[in-house]
Chains A and B, each alone.
Chain A
Amino acid sequence: QKEVEQDPGPLSVPEGAIVSLNCTYSNSAFQYFMWYRQYSRKGPELLMYTYSSGNKEDGRFTAQVDKSSKYISLFIRDSQPSDSATYLCAPKGSSGTYKYIFGTGTRLKVLA
């Protein structure tokens, strides 16, 4: 079983749609849950992160973690063509651990 599983997509949605991107993970020691966004031919950049279970909102983006089911979600409201990118989840262990494990990424295309 992979440590982090993510549907690779591609996922195509019309502009303005609500997008739901998801990851599952197997290591219960993960405590920090990052979402990175990667545009084509670019390096990943941090979008947002959450600690432990719960929700975090940042503008049109909401990250959600359910540690009991080891399920991570990223919601995008009012999606825009500029949101078209690959979204990678990256859970991480506690302070002092250094290893990031990335999901395969979900390719999102928002159609104008």
Chain B
Amino acid sequence: NAGVMQNPRHLVRRRGQEARLRCSPMKGHSHVYWYRQLPEEGLKFMVYLQKENIIDESGMPKERFSAEFPKEGPSILRIQQVVRGDSAAYFCASLPSGQLLSGANVLTFGAGSRLTVL
């Protein structure tokens, strides 16, 4: 059973280009979270999605950032017109369906996608 798969692992973009990060949750997981991690900083919540629904995007910048989790296929975090400040590691985590009601929800993280903006 493969874990949470993220790709690409490393992405280099020039300012103004688009970055598209993909996350395939573990099999049977229908909840996906995206976090951003800057050097020397912790994980910052960006967005929480279920299949075809954005539940909470309060941590995501209002402009240039969007996320989706379609019925089929991976979750996508899209950053348009990237700027140098977007350089960071972006982590995806997933939860099994139904586990949300269990208090100790255990997030399973992917290895992250490292975005570098030149």
> What chain A residues lie within 8 Å of B88 (beta carbons)?
none
**A32 interface contact, C-beta 8 A:** yes
Mask, A16-60, CB within 8 Å of B = 1, is: 000000000000000110100000011111100101000000000
Interface residues of A, count at CB 8 A: 27
| B42–A95 touching, CB < 8 Å | no
Instruction: Please provide the chain B residues from 52 to 78 with a CB less than 8 Å away from any CB of chain A in the complex.
Output: 55-56
> A35: shortest Cβ distance to chain B, in Å?
12
| A42–B103 touching, CB < 8 Å | no
Instruction: Please tell me which one of the listed residues B41, B56, B103 contacts residue A95 in the complex, with CB atoms under 8 A apart.
Output: B103
**A84 interface contact, C-beta 8 A:** no
| A95–B48 touching, CB < 8 Å | no
In the bound complex, how far is the Cα of B108 from the Cα of A96, in angstroms? 18
> A2: shortest Cβ distance to chain B, in Å?
9
Among residues of A, the one whose C-beta sits closest to the C-beta of B114 is: A41
In the bound complex, how far is the Cα of B107 from the Cα of A102, in angstroms? 12
Interface residues of B, count at CB 8 A: 28
Task: Name the residue among B41, B48, B107 with the largest chain A CB count within 10 angstroms.
Answer: B107
| B102–A100 touching, CB < 8 Å | no
> What chain A residues lie within 8 Å of B33 (beta carbons)?
100
Among residues of A, the one whose C-beta sits closest to the C-beta of B106 is: A46
Among residues of B, the one whose C-beta sits closest to the C-beta of A88 is: B42
In the bound complex, how far is the Cα of B105 from the Cα of A34, in angstroms? 10
| B56–A98 touching, CB < 8 Å | yes
In the bound complex, how far is the Cα of B103 from the Cα of A88, in angstroms? 19
| A46–B107 touching, CB < 8 Å | yes
In the bound complex, how far is the Cα of B38 from the Cα of A104, in angstroms? 10
Among residues of B, the one whose C-beta sits closest to the C-beta of A104 is: B42
Nearest first, the 3 closest Cβ-Cβ pairs linking A and B are A43-B109, A104-B42, A102-B43
Jot down 25 A-B pairs with beta carbons below 8 A, ordered by A.
Answer: A4-B42, A32-B103, A41-B111, A41-B112, A43-B4, A43-B93, A43-B110, A44-B91, A44-B109, A45-B109, A46-B107, A49-B104, A88-B42, A95-B102, A96-B100, A96-B101, A98-B31, A98-B55, A98-B56, A98-B105, A99-B45, A100-B33, A101-B45, A103-B42, A104-B41
